[in-house]
């Protein structure tokens, strides 16, 4: 009788062959033949292209090698040897097949350096770049994203969460795909992190579908080539710096100038006017600000815990490792892509702050040992930014319009981070502290805010001429302010006095009551149609409001509302 025991396939193999006492077998021949069969079985075949077939082929080759061994040693007559081998094949094959069915199996953590984790696999089959690996740290699931193949079956990964407490030798499993996150209506009103895990303590996110955060931009044939304006219902934006449907808008503004309220009103108006949803992505945001935003959205009913919400939130806070901050923008974009592609929605995607996305990419690049480029940024800065920005576009089904808060380091517009971002922007909306100090909200600077959509071929000649006249009148008023401050209004000509008077009314008319601020101001919010906006500004510049006081134009919707308010003010003055 012969018993063959194979301890491990694909590594130095131990084969024990036992004979009965009466046999005179050539053990040297047996061992040399078995070793040859094993080396043939575990060596990669040049004709095989799929790693998933290798284990079964290896076992078949091992069996044929053993058969040759038995024939060479005169042991082919007994069938017991063949029957003894059958259990080995039937036991090994299903286990190996199951291992290679999903991903490439398990590896071991080889090295941990901060957010960088090296994982070593036993075979040459390695998980592809951008695949997600799963391991466990302190009882919690930790996701690692493959970034580099180092050789010696080692892959270098970036951790999506803290690695404190992670040790060498711990198992890491290839998931067989990139990071997958839940998408769909169940994400509305919820907060998730970069891996799609809910962080609002309201239980699992209800979903029927998951999508990978890495995807290609829509093909040329899928994209819409027509330039369309996205009507926001905010007068100053729609008239002077209109947003492109599927475009990218840079939002510039410091603390306390109404940036959060402006964002909330956009979310509310998009839901009302277009029935669309919004996704807010906090990239490197302060945890306190994210918490404040969440509760403010509940107060203004943008998020309704008991009903339908209009926005999904994705946060990668400032305390998160660079891997999470570098990928959380893609998570938010993936949620938005579902509503665009599957439900045909016009989606509004907010990214606050796009600079943190670049900053996190720079940190990851340094951790991976890449040679830095200008000012210490990653050499792949333009590619990283382009891969994300090109996914934000209009297709035949729907659109994603992105509003991105932009931080400019040291107010240097030539810094590579903001300079790379500017190349992708279609419009800029600048919130001015000087205008907010006048009590005019939204505090959008009408002279600094620009849009490539303000073109007569896109918006029409009437819209373009009206916007140009408004900007010209406001610019003239700005140049006269120094003279007024020194000499007073009396020194101006009659034409200049009329310009100043109308410009001040225009300036106040650029203010607008917001629906989301109604609980604080007590003034009903107004969503103004573009036609009414153009008609109202033309009327003011043509002198139709010259008989009304300046206060009549403050916090109203259209010219009709201003006239009603003005008549009421004049009536109250007559009574007194």
Closest by CA position to 456, among listed 468, 447, 445, 444: 468
For residues 210-230, average pLDDT: 91
For residues 256-264, average pLDDT: 84
Among 85-89, 138-142, 372-376, 507-511, the least confident range: 85-89
Interatomic CA distance for residues 203 and 228, integer angstroms = 40
Determine which one of 265, 285, 337, 363 is catalytic: 285
Q: Is 286 a catalytic residue?
A: yes
Kind of pairing between the strands at 311-317 and 191-192: parallel
Q: What is the pLDDT of residues 289-307, one digit of tens each?
A: 889 889 888 887 889 888 8
Q: Is 259 a catalytic residue?
A: yes
Cβ atoms within 10 Å of 287's Cβ, excluding its own = 13
Among 158-167, 313-322, 488-497, the least confident range: 488-497
Cβ atoms within 10 Å of 433's Cβ, excluding its own = 14
> Tokens 């592809």 map to which residue?
128
Instruction: Note whether 378 and 384 are within 8 A (CB).
Output: yes
Tell me: pLDDT of 48 over 60: no
Instruction: Note whether 449 and 430 are within 8 A (CB).
Output: yes
Closest by CA position to 147, among listed 367, 329, 371, 362: 367
For residues 297-321, average pLDDT: 89
Kind of pairing between the strands at 311-317 and 278-285: parallel
Interatomic CA distance for residues 409 and 459, integer angstroms = 34
Angle 424-430-434 from CA coordinates, rounded to 5°: 165
> Tokens 């029935």 map to which residue?
275
Strand order in the sheet with 450-451: 191-192, 311-317, 278-285, 346-352, 399-405, 248-252, 427-430, 450-451
In degrees and rounded to multiples of 5, residue 280 shows phi and psi of -105, 125
Determine which one of 54, 190, 259, 526 is catalytic: 259
CA dihedral 315, 316, 320, 323 (to 10 degrees): 150
- 144 bridge partner residues: 133, 159
Kindly state the percentage of the chain with pLDDT values over 70.
82
Residue 245: band (very low, low, confident or very high) from pLDDT cuts 50, 70, 90 = confident
Mean pLDDT, the chain, whole residue set: 83
Kindly state the percentage of the chain with pLDDT values over 90.
58
Enumerate residues 6+ apart whose C-beta is below 8 A from 346: 230, 245, 270, 274, 276, 340, 398, 399, 401
Tell me: pLDDT of 576 over 90: no
Cβ atoms within 10 Å of 39's Cβ, excluding its own = 11
Q: What is the pLDDT of residues 4-13, one digit of tens each?
A: 444 434 433 3
Residue 136: band (very low, low, confident or very high) from pLDDT cuts 50, 70, 90 = very high
Interatomic CA distance for residues 563 and 547, integer angstroms = 9
**DSSP code of residue 309:** -
Interatomic CA distance for residues 444 and 235, integer angstroms = 10
Instruction: Note whether 217 and 339 are within 8 A (CB).
Output: no
Residue 225: band (very low, low, confident or very high) from pLDDT cuts 50, 70, 90 = confident
- Find out whether the peptide bond into 353 is cis, omega within 30 degrees of 0: yes
Residue 196 tokens, joined = 């799609």
Residue 259: band (very low, low, confident or very high) from pLDDT cuts 50, 70, 90 = confident
pLDDT of the residue at 59: 42
For residues 477-483, average pLDDT: 91
Residue 246, SS3 per DSSP: coil
Interatomic CA distance for residues 375 and 220, integer angstroms = 34
Q: What is the pLDDT of residues 465-475, one digit of tens each?
A: 999 999 999 99
Closest by CA position to 118, among listed 152, 90, 141: 152
Return the half-sphere exposure (C-beta side, CA atoms, 13 A cut-off) of residue 305: 10
Q: What is the pLDDT of residues 391-437, one digit of tens each?
A: 999 999 998 999 998 888 887 888 899 899 989 999 999 988 899 99
Burial of 193 (0-12, 13-18, 19+ CB in 10 A): buried
Q: DSSP secondary structure string, 81-142? A: HHHHHHHHHHHHHHHHHHHHHSTT-EEEEEEEETTEEEEEESSS--PPTT-EEEEEETTEEE
DSSP E strand boundaries for 197-277 = 209-212, 229-230, 243-244, 248-252
Q: Identify which of 58-67, 254-263, 384-393 has the greatest average pLDDT.
A: 384-393
pLDDT of the residue at 86: 39
Q: What is the pLDDT of residues 507-542, one digit of tens each?
A: 999 999 998 888 888 899 999 999 999 999 999 999
Kind of pairing between the strands at 248-252 and 209-212: unpaired
Q: What is the pLDDT of residues 534-569, one digit of tens each?
A: 999 999 999 999 999 999 999 999 999 999 999 999
Among 35-39, 196-200, 249-253, 384-388, the least confident range: 35-39
Determine which one of 8, 71, 168, 286 is catalytic: 286
Q: Is 108 a catalytic residue?
A: no
**DSSP code of residue 196:** S
pLDDT of the residue at 521: 86
Angle 123-129-134 from CA coordinates, rounded to 5°: 70
**DSSP code of residue 45:** P
Residue 36: band (very low, low, confident or very high) from pLDDT cuts 50, 70, 90 = low
pLDDT of the residue at 408: 83
- Find out whether the peptide bond into 442 is cis, omega within 30 degrees of 0: yes
Q: Which residue has the higher pLDDT, 389 or 48?
A: 389
- 314 bridge partner residues: 192, 281
């Amino acid at each position: 009788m012969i018993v063959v025991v194979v301890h491990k396939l694909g590594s130095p193999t131990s084969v024990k062959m036992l004979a009965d006492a009466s046999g005179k077998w050539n053990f040297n021949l047996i061992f040399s033949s078995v070793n040859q069969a094993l080396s043939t079985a575990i060596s990669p075949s040049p004709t095989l292209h799929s790693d998933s077939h290798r284990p079964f082929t290896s076992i078949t080759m091992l069996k044929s090698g053993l058969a040759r061994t038995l024939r060479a040693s005169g042991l082919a007559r007994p069938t017991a040897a063949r029957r003894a081998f059958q259990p080995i094949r039937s036991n090994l094959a299903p286990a190996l097949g199951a291992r290679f069915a999903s991903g490439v199996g398990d590896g071991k953590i080889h090295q941990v350096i901060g957010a960088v984790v090296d994982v070593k696999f036993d075979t040459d089959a390695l998980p592809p770049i951008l695949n997600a690996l799963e391991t466990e740290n302190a009882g919690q699931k930790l996701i690692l994203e493959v970034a580099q193949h180092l050789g010696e079956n080692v892959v270098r990964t970036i951790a999506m969460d803290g690695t404190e407490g992670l040790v060498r030798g711990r198992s890491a499993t290839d998931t067989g795909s990139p990071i997958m996150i839940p998408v769909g209506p169940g994400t509305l009103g919820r907060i998730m992190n970069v891996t799609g895990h809910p962080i609002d303590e309201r239980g699992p996110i209800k979903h029927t579908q998951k999508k990978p955060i890495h995807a290609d931009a829509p093909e040329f044939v899928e994209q819409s080539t027509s330039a369309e304006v996205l009507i926001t219902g905010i007068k100053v934006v729609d008239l002077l710096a209109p947003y492109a449907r599927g475009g990218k808008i840079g939002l510039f503004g410091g603390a306390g100038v109404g940036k959060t309220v402006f964002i909330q009103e956009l979310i509310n108006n998009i839901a009302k006017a277009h029935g669309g949803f919004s996704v807010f992505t906090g990239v490197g945001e302060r945890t306190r600000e994210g918490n404040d935003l969440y509760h403010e959205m509940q107060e203004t009913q943008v998020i309704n815990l008991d009903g339908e919400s209009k926005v999904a939130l994705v946060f990668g806070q400032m305390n998160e490792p660079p891997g999470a901050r570098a990928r959380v923008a893609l998570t938010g974009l993936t949620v938005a892509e579902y509503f665009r592609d599957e439900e045909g929605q016009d989606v509004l995607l907010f990214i606050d702050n796009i600079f943190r996305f670049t900053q996190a990419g720079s940190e990851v690049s340094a951790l991976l040992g890449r040679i830095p480029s200008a000012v210490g940024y990653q050499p792949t800065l333009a590619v990283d930014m382009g891969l994300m920005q090109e996914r934000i576009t209009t297709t035949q089904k729907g659109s994603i319009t992105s509003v991105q808060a932009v931080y400019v380091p040291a107010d240097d517009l030539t810094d590579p981070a903001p300079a790379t971002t500017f190349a992708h922007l279609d419009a800029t909306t600048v919130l001015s502290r000087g205008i907010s100090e006048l009590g005019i909200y939204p505090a959008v600077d009408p002279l600094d805010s620009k849009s490539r959509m303000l073109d007569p071929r896109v918006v029409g000649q009437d819209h373009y001429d009206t916007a140009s006249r408004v900007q010209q009148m406001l610019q003239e008023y700005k140049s006269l302010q120094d003279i007024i401050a020194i000499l007073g209004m009396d020194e101006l000509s009659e034409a200049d006095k009329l310009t100043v008077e109308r410009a001040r009314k225009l300036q106040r008319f650029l203010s607008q009551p917001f629906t989301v601020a109604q609980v604080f101001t007590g003034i009903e919010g107004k969503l103004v149609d573009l036609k009414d906006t153009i008609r109202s500004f033309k009327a003011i510049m043509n002198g139709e409001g010259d008989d009304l006081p300046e206060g009549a134009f403050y916090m109203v919707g259209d010219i009709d509302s201003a006239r009603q308010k003005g008549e009421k003010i004049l009536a109250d003055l007559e009574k007194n």
